[in-house]
Amino acid sequence: MKRVSLKDIAKMVGASPSTVSFILNGKASQMRISDELKNKVLATAKKMGYQPNQVAVSLRTGQTKILGLLVEDISNSFFASLAKTIELEAEEFGYKVVYSSTENNSKRGVELLRMLTQRQVDGYLITPTVGMEEDIEMIVRHKKPLVLMDRYFPGIDTAFVQVDNAGAVKKGMEHLVNKGYKKIAFITIDSGMIQMKQREEAYTEAISRSAEQKKKLVLKVNFAGGRELAIDQITEFLKKNNPDAVFFATNYLGILGLESIRAIGLSIPTDLAVVCFDDNDIFRLHLPGITVLQQPVEAIARTAIHILMQQLGNNKIALKKNQVQLAANFISREST
């Protein structure tokens, strides 16, 4: 089927191709084109199924109006909410979003990032994983619009937006200590990313200041080993150490942890108190409800988009900072 062109529309309405182009690009008023002709062109274009040639538009404007979004796992509630808000916010600025999941796999992340570069996206929104440093540095060197989310690389000077990980864990630990728990365990993942380091360091600092607990109890789950192995690791750790409270560093670890706790036969919070970093519908619906540090997902997404739009020259609001940490929302439920 032949693609409908500007010339085809121009022939149908009896106007020049340049006039049709002005109308379809929203410049009718600027070029003093009558409303009658504008409406006729728009109606004809719609009837004929006209679609602009994106390659030609890109060559003419130097923009694709497409943003590349890479997240760790689009099936995870945090990243799904992040992607949804970014898509809606980007649309307000006239951009579409292409997104994929790295699955926390550096090779996959690098391949996807290079694919986005080949597609000449106008800007990047990325939750990077270890192993993507070189490609991120290349984007920075070429001065491409880029915002990292949820985590960043300390050695690379780039814009980022994340939750205040240390502040959130501190708040959760203070809650447990004030509740009288004396043997608090921390379960995290074996990751070299900065956000996980910040959470573990905050736990370690809280234990070092505790009058009741001097020894930290930390399990680093090898999440690449799969779900069943992770559950086994958590179960064995809880049985061996017998803590009176446990702090899960991510929501997916928290969900697996609930399975382990049930398998052992422990009662929450009678036998074991539970706090989790980041919320999930399961934690709200679980009986008892699980106390969480809820990340401000929508605020992270909006802030990231506005920083990126500022880099692209499309943001009307001047932002003072391009490296932002936002406070988590502490939600106390029955698990503590």
pLDDT digits (tens, 9 = 90+) for 117-153: 887 889 999 999 888 899 999 999 989 999 999 999 9
Name the DSSP letter for residue 220. E
pLDDT surpassing 90 at residue 3? no
Tens-place pLDDT, residues 152-167: 999 899 999 999 999 9
pLDDT classification of 85: cutoffs 50, 70, 90: very high
Tens-place pLDDT, residues 32-77: 888 888 888 888 888 877 776 554 555 454 566 889 998 888 888 8
- Report, as an integer, the average pLDDT of 227-236: 93
CATH number of 61-163+298-326: 3.40.50.2300
Half-sphere exposure in the Cβ direction for 45 (13 Å, CA): 20
Q: How many Cβ atoms sit within 10 Å of the Cβ of residue 41?
A: 25
pLDDT classification of 323: cutoffs 50, 70, 90: very high
Nearest 5 degrees, angle CA 119-CA 81-CA 176? 135
- Report, as an integer, the average pLDDT of 245-258: 96
Note whether 61-163+298-326 and 165-295 share their fold: yes
CATH number of 6-52: 1.10.260.40
Ranges of each domain in the chain: 6-52, 61-163+298-326, 165-295
Tell me the C-alpha distance between 330 and 88, whole Å. Answer: 26
- Report, as an integer, the average pLDDT of 311-327: 82
Pairing of β 323-326 and β 159-163:
parallel
The structure tokens listed for 117 are 């570069």
Tell me the C-alpha distance between 320 and 324, whole Å. Answer: 10
pLDDT surpassing 50 at residue 84? yes
**146-160, 209-223, 234-248: the lowest-pLDDT one:** 209-223
- Of 23-27, 220-224, 264-268, the range with the highest mean pLDDT is 264-268
pLDDT computed for residue 151 by the predictor: 92
* Its pTM surpasses 0.85: no
pLDDT computed for residue 61 by the predictor: 47
Nearest 5 degrees, angle CA 91-CA 94-CA 95? 70
Tell me the C-alpha distance between 250 and 189, whole Å. Answer: 8
Closest-CA residue to 68 (of 118, 104, 103): 118
CA torsion through residues 308, 311, 314, 319, sign: positive
CA torsion through residues 35, 41, 47, 53, sign: negative
Mean pLDDT score across all residues of the chain? 88
Closest-CA residue to 44 (of 68, 15, 73): 15
Q: Which CATH number fits domain 165-295: 1.10.15.40, 3.40.50.2300, 3.40.50.300, 3.40.630.10?
A: 3.40.50.2300
Task: Determine the residue type at 142.
Answer: H
